[in-house]
Amino acid sequence: MKAIMLSINANDCELIVSGKKSLVICRTEPKLERPSVCYVYHTKTRNAGVRWNDWADCLRLPNGEFINAGGKVIGEFVCCGIMHPFSDLRFMAKQSCLSVDELLLYSHGKTPYGLRVADFKLYDKPKELGDFRKACQYAKCEKENCPHALVKITDRINLLTGEQEFYALDGKPKWDVEFIGCANKLTRPPRTWQYVQTL
């Protein structure tokens, strides 16, 4: 099933985790079935690692604790609907914890879309980008002829002679193929959002 991953800055991640932010603003409208899953990627701060900026990649939890979440997927929510641009901008701004001016500035004068946040689930341990796959037309790599499938090919050995069998009677190569994974994994975070496969 197709889902989306959103790149969200540290401040907005805290607002989503605390339940204050119930609308995530996008410049373009994702084409999703509703309800659908949205994964929250906590953007990594550019100057992380600089001594005075070590706190920038930390996420404050509702219980007051901090976790290092920069560059990781911290949780997921159900998008139960998309608020369209003909809606009241003041209401959209309030639900997204922005002013109307900030909302228009973020959308670069284009029409903003709002993803409704419902049932946010914070992961016990943030997930790495490599745990997610890009959206693919093949539902199961191992069952379909997917170009992203990683396979291990082994030659068949004739048990009687101990020699490799290269061709069967019909002239086709003889080997065993074992599915070992998918090469369609995420390696870069999305700029704003992108389609991914559900976990």
Contact 73, 131 (CB under 8 A): yes
DSSP helix/strand/coil, 172: coil
Residues 49 and 73 in one domain: yes
Q: Is residue 143 part of a domain?
A: no
What integer best gives the mean pLDDT of the chain?
79
More confident residue, 196 or 183: 196
Quote the tokens at residue 54.
């070590």
Quote the tokens at residue 53.
């900026």
Contact 38, 6 (CB under 8 A): yes
Q: What are phi and psi of 34, to 5 degrees?
A: -120, 135
Q: Which pLDDT band, with edges at 50, 70 and 90, does 76 fall under?
A: very high
CATH of the domain at 85: 2.30.130.30
Q: How far apart are CA 96 and CA 82, in angstroms?
A: 13
The position carrying tokens 């959209």 is: 92
pLDDT tens per residue, range 39-62: 999 998 765 555 545 566 778 777
Residues 85 and 20 in one domain: yes
pLDDT at 59: 81
The position carrying tokens 């190569």 is: 173
pLDDT tens per residue, range 115-172: 999 999 999 899 999 899 888 766 565 555 666 666 666 666 555 566 655 544 455 5
Which of 44-53, 71-80, 96-105, 146-155 comes out lowest in average pLDDT?
44-53
Q: How far apart are CA 2 and CA 193, in angstroms?
A: 13
Residues 95 and 177 in one domain: no
pLDDT score of 186 more than 70? yes
Range of 99's domain?
2-136+185-197
Which of 26-30, 34-38, 173-177 comes out lowest in average pLDDT?
173-177
Which pTM value belongs to this model?
0.77
DSSP helix/strand/coil, 115: strand
Q: Is residue 141 part of a domain?
A: no
Percent of the chain whose pLDDT exceeds 70: 69
Q: Which pLDDT band, with edges at 50, 70 and 90, does 84 fall under?
A: confident
Q: How far apart are CA 52 and CA 83, in angstroms?
A: 39
pLDDT at 111: 81
Q: How far apart are CA 90 and CA 100, in angstroms?
A: 6
How many domains, in total, are found in the chain?
2
pLDDT score of 20 more than 60? yes
- Residues 172-198, mean pLDDT to the nearest whole number: 76
Q: How far apart are CA 22 and CA 5, in angstroms?
A: 16
Residues 7 and 91 in one domain: yes
